[in-house]
Amino acid sequence: MLDIILIQHVDTGLNILEYRQEHTIMKTEHSDIFSGFMTAIQNITEELNIGFVVLIATEGIKGHNCIIIPKYPINVILLVDQDDPIELWKQQGKEIAEKFLSNYGSSFNPNNVHLYKPFKVVIKEMCATHEYCD
């Protein structure tokens, strides 16, 4: 099951939008920490010129996959259960990125986060197409 989707502005590292499921283990105050962590990882891989990180996985009873979809100027970051199909979530993340950029363009102001809240409805509709969302 999906826990959270973050849409992050690449150049600033700001969270533009956060879509979360009710059952998520990540509290809202942790989203900024998580986003900062993701920005740091992307910056390190860019500095080392080793490509983009697209998957981070944890194992165990509460194991999760963190799937990163880079689509400049945003990253779509999905945190899902380890047993969820990664390819389905990669495709969903790509569709979310394309739809977001289609709606708002690529030269939007990442500081006006209130403008992007209506996009949560779009994500919810997209997410309802399979059984891995509430």
The answer to whether residue 61 scores a pLDDT higher than 70 is yes
- Specify the pTM: 0.89
pLDDT of residue 51: 78
* pLDDT tens per residue across span 72-104: 999 999 999 999 999 999 999 999 999 999 999
Determine the residue type at 13. G
Cite the DSSP H helix spans in the chain: 28-48, 86-104, 119-127
CATH class of 2-127: alpha beta
Extents of the domains making up the chain: 2-127
Find the range with the poorest average confidence among 1-10, 53-62, 68-77: 53-62
